[in-house]
Amino acid sequence: GAVVSQHPSRVICKSGTSVKIECRSLDFQATTMFWYRQFPKQSLMLMATSNEGSKATYEQGVEKDKFLINHASLTLSTLTVTSAHPEDSSFYICSAVSLEGNTIYFGEGSWLTVV
Amino acid sequence: GENVEQHPSTLSVQEGDSAVIKCTYSDSASNYFPWYKQELGKRPQLIIDIRSNVGEKKDQRIAVTLNKTAKHFSLHITETQPEDSAVYFCAANPSGTYKYIFGTGTRLKVLA
């Protein structure tokens, strides 16, 4: 089946720094990708919709200047957490839409720890 | 926007018994309802889904039922096994979008 890869799988960064997480669709083109955040023992919360070639659409309550999303190609979306704080520590998961199969595939997720 | 509620938050069953998890949604325009199984620290895995034009779907030990009028859908797992232990999430997909709005999750424990 289709594969969506995320990198890095785990990252530790210092408070105040920025960290970038990549989401790649490996064998299909994805005009739309989604970014979710999952705190421990909680559900997946949709953060934003990433659209290739245009600005991301953010869900209510998600700071677009803090969580920068870039979808420069049909196979890559990036999420940059700027000026990270310990409360940003979470599991971040992307998903990508395969238009051919009208199916959504999830990445493996990225653990972010801000110290 | 869409809102999905899921119950129960935790569920313990004896091996071999059945487990039922229920979800309700608010947006009557939602037309696709997947269920995911997630193990700790891993990505969600799609286990079954149902579209709004179908009332029930079954895949071996797993079944999903949908009541559009009441706007609720349920996951049924029969003959549970220890490896079924995980967190299960329902989701609703508003019509015309690829957004998934997830329920709050159910931690299922199957006791051997």
Q: Are A13 and A110 in contact (CB under 8 A)?
A: no
The rounded mean pLDDT for chain A is 92
Rounded Cα–Cα distance for residues A88 and A82 (Å): 10
Region of residue A86 (phi > 0: left; psi between -120 and 50: alpha; otherwise: beta) = alpha
What is the identity of the amino acid at A55? K
Of A34, A46, A109, the CB nearest to B43: A109
HSE-CB of A59 using CA atoms within 13 angstroms: 15
Q: If DSSP states are collapsed to H, E and C, what string results for chain B?
A: CCCEEEECCEEEEECCCCEEEEEEECCCCEEEEEEEEECCCCCCEEEEEEECCCCEEEECCEEEEEECCCCEEEEEECCCCHHHCEEEEEEEEECCCCCCEECCCEEEEEEC
Residue located via tokens 């989604």: A34
Contact B43 A111 (CB under 8 A): no
Specify the 3-state DSSP secondary structure of A19. strand
Chain Cα centroid distance, residue B19: 11
For residue B12, CA distances in Å to A96, B103, B109 come to: 33, 19, 5
Residue located via tokens 């809102």: B3
HSE-CB of A23 using CA atoms within 13 angstroms: 32
Report pLDDT for A108. Answer: 93
Contact A111 B41 (CB under 8 A): yes
What is the identity of the amino acid at A6? Q
Contact A49 B99 (CB under 8 A): yes
Q: Which helix (H) or strand (E) holds A36?
A: strand A32-38
Specify the 3-state DSSP secondary structure of A31. coil
Q: pLDDT digit string (tens) for B12-70?
A: 999 999 999 999 999 988 989 999 999 988 889 999 999 988 899 999 999 999 999 99
pLDDT range class, residue A2, cuts 50, 70, 90: low
Over residues A55-64, the mean pLDDT reads 94
Rounded Cα–Cα distance for residues A89 and A37 (Å): 10
CA–CA min distance A15, chain B (Å): 23
Report pLDDT for A102. Answer: 67
Q: Which helix (H) or strand (E) holds A98?
A: strand A90-98
**Residue B43 vs residue A20, higher pLDDT:** A20
Please give the residue of chain B at the shortest CA–CA distance from A5.
Answer: B43
Report pLDDT for A101. Answer: 58
